[in-house]
Amino acid sequence: MQNETFDVKMLRTSCERCAACCTGGGPILRLADAHLVRTGAIESKDLYTVRKGELMFDRDTLKMVPVRTDLIKIKVNREDLTCVFLKEGKTCDIYDTRPSECRAFKCWDPKEIEMKYDEDPLERADLLGDVKGLWDVIADHQERCSYDRMQELTDKLKDDRTGEVLAAINEIIAFDLSLRDTLVEKAGVKPDMLPFLLGRPFTETMVMFNLKIVEKNGTFVLDHV
């Protein structure tokens, strides 16, 4: 079956809009896509940030590796990982203003997309770095909730005899959640903007450290491992 698929692709010379490339994870935005977000052609509610240090599948090593910078991706539908812009009938809702990765992807010829992978990614700082106040909040969150720090703590967890490491992890998780609540309740930020502004919450991403977060007495804490 795989060979058949490969042969069909080899015979193609143009896009048949089958949408197979719109499944399995949304595209990463590149610097060249900044105008799409700035003009609202792609709204930030449809984006999420993979924060520096988060683990992501690396196509070269075929391993999960920490990302070196923020990456901004288009959200996907949880059930099937299709891009949120993929609509009934396999059409792209933003086809004329789709990101540059989507334009570069040609399943019959990988040259263009491989060059695109080498381009600088768009980062939150490129879009929000001069928004005083908001950027300070994001930078503070990034420092206090850094994935490097979380990795360091989770590495120490198995030797944690005093409970201090677990307490430090729980403090980070609690800060991450409370900041999200504060932004929504006090600053009027829409909840669907949070994955772009602050990345995904640890309650979703701790699984990448093979750990899970459970709710106890109304608060989320890391379960003992």
Binding residues vs ligand SF4 (CB under 6 A): 15-22, 26-27, 74, 83, 85-86, 92, 94, 98-99, 102, 105-107
Q: How far is the CB of 58 from ligand SF4 (least distance, A)?
A: 20
- CB nearer ligand SF4, residue 35 or residue 224: 35
Q: How far is the CB of 186 from ligand SF4 (least distance, A)?
A: 33
Q: How far is the CB of 79 from ligand SF4 (least distance, A)?
A: 16
Residues with Cβ within 8 Å of residue 176, at least 6 apart in sequence? 141, 145, 198, 201, 202
- CB nearer ligand SF4, residue 90 or residue 144: 90
Residues with Cβ within 8 Å of residue 56, at least 6 apart in sequence? 50, 64, 65, 66, 67, 71
Q: How far is the CB of 44 from ligand SF4 (least distance, A)?
A: 15
- CB nearer ligand SF4, residue 21 or residue 174: 21
Greatest pairwise CA separation for the chain in angstroms: 63
Question: What Å distances lie between residue 48 and 13, 24, 36, CA to CA?
Answer: 33, 15, 15
Reported as type and span, the H/E element at residue 56 is strand 55-58
Q: How far is the CB of 133 from ligand SF4 (least distance, A)?
A: 31
- CB nearer ligand SF4, residue 79 or residue 159: 79
Q: How far is the CB of 162 from ligand SF4 (least distance, A)?
A: 48
- CB nearer ligand SF4, residue 83 or residue 127: 83
What is the torsional sign of CA 76, 81, 87, 90? positive
- CB nearer ligand SF4, residue 81 or residue 214: 81
| Parallel, antiparallel or unpaired: strands 86-87 and 91-92 | antiparallel
Reported as type and span, the H/E element at residue 87 is strand 86-87
